[in-house]
Structure 1
Amino acid sequence: MDDSIGIKIKKLRKERKLTLKQVSDKTNLSISFLSQVERLKSSITLESLKKVSEALDVNPSFFFSNPVKKTKSTIVRNALSDLNNRPNSFIYKDLGGNLENPLFSPLLVMLKPGDNRGSSYSHKGQEFLYVLEGTLTVLIDEEEHDLHPFDCIYLDSTTPHNWINHTDSDVKFLCISSLPI
């Protein structure tokens, strides 16, 4: 994952006037681990990032966006172009641009063969998944659903869920999630 995530976590935590202990209590992640992430000494899993984002009251996509001037509209061209060149196995690309006060977060996600985003978890909001390439397995409350290209699913994110690639090919899909209000 991106090294700037730790820097963004620390900045946001300080803006919210929270201590590492307070974030640790809200996330059940150790203070030392959180400190190492903030100091770029350790990387964070998507599952842990989700816990931190809920504790800091932001969508996880916040940590993948570029802090530039907010706009009224954004065009993202050739969003797939650099997806295959990244070293991480689980890849996010924020498609939201920099709209001010967005109501939802669009992400392009790529899972390499055998990847998943950790154990199932739940969070506030809703998700819409649309498969572009490959076969995505969505686990919802221990029930698996295979989605093929051009299939989609809309789910209540408060239900425990996970994304899995059981195949030997890349899976690319859109994930559009509502932001906490």
Structure 2
Amino acid sequence: MKIGDRLRELRQRRKLSVRAVALRSGVSHSSISLVERDLISPSLDTLHAILDALGTTLSGFFLDFHAVSPPNPFCRAAEMVEIGRADAISYRVIGTGFPSRSMLMLHETYAPGADTGEAFFHSAQEGGLVIRGAVEVTVAGRTATLQPGDGYYFDSREPHRFRNVADEPSEIVSAITPPTY
């Protein structure tokens, strides 16, 4: 289902005319009509105003929107999006097609000697499990070398860094919530 179809369905379910939604939202009736016919894409502000006039929120709209046709729960290796530096550190995102993700799930691969560099921080929590190699993890000045089967979990607002200390590639499966990395 497209955004326009979903908006029209919400408006009709509430037995409102395009003009009534226009009056409530401050968006012109012609713009609402064009959006409903998927002839234009609304800005975030416009969509918010229309949804507010229909008595729903952006998050509620998109949760319901995707509830109509649930996303594929499976992610093949070839479908994972690369967001890292594939030559030294590879971050492959698991589940990029899932709407409104509340966590970032990664398959991380570190080449021998690869290092994330200076300690960094962001507003989240993260955890992971080493599945191959040996990774030195430093969090807020505390350092440990983790082997396969070892894991970590920390507040990402603490400065942290990762370094492969093995002579082979090291791998981690990790999760970050909210997805702020």
When the two structures are superposed, what TM-score results if normalisation uses the length of structure 2? 0.54
Q: How does 1:102-141 map to 2 (within 5 A)?
A: 102-141=101-140
For 1:146, the equivalent position in structure 2 comes to 145
1:178 matched residue in structure 2: 177
User: What's the offset of the Cα at 1:179?
Assistant: 1.8
> Unpaired segments of 5 or more residues in structure 2?
1-42, 45-68
CA distance in 1, matches of 2:93, 2:144: 25
Structure 1 position 97, deviation (Å): 3.1
Partner of 1:91: 90
| 1:166 corresponds to 2:165 | yes
Indicate the SS of the match to 1:93.
strand
Counterparts of 2:86 and 2:110, CA distance in 1: 12
Q: Distance in 2 between matches of 1:128 and 1:100?
A: 22
In 2, distance between residues paired with 1:137 and 1:106? 20
1:78 CA displacement: 4.4
Larger Cα-atom Rg: 2
Distance across 2 between alignment mates of 1:168 and 1:153: 21
Contact residue 91 and residue 108 of structure 2 kept, 8 A = yes
1:71 Cα deviation from its structure 2 partner: 5.0
Cα distance in 2 for partners of 1:165, 1:154 equals: 18
Structure 1 position 89, deviation (Å):
1.3
**Structure 1 residue runs of 4+, over 4 Å off?**
none
Q: In structure 1, how many angstroms separate the alpha carbons of the residues matched to 2:169 and 2:73? A: 27
Specify whether residues 168 and 177 from structure 1 end up closer, same or farther in structure 2 by C-alpha distance, changes over 3 A only: same
Residue 162 of structure 1: how far off its partner (Å): 0.6
Instruction: Give the match for residue 65 of structure 2.
Output: none
Q: State the 1:138 CA deviation.
A: 0.5
8 A contact 1:71–1:98 mirrored in 2? no
Cα offset, 1:87, TM superposition: 5.3
Q: Is the 8 A contact 1:138 1:144 kept in 2?
A: yes
What RMSD in Å do the two structures reach over aligned CA positions?
Answer: 2.8
How far 1:73 moved relative to its partner? 3.6
Q: Retained in 1: the 8 A contact 2:101–2:179?
A: no
Query: Cα deviation per residue 1:24-46 (whole Å; 9 max; x = unaligned)?
Result: xxxxxxxxxxxxxxxxxxxxxxx
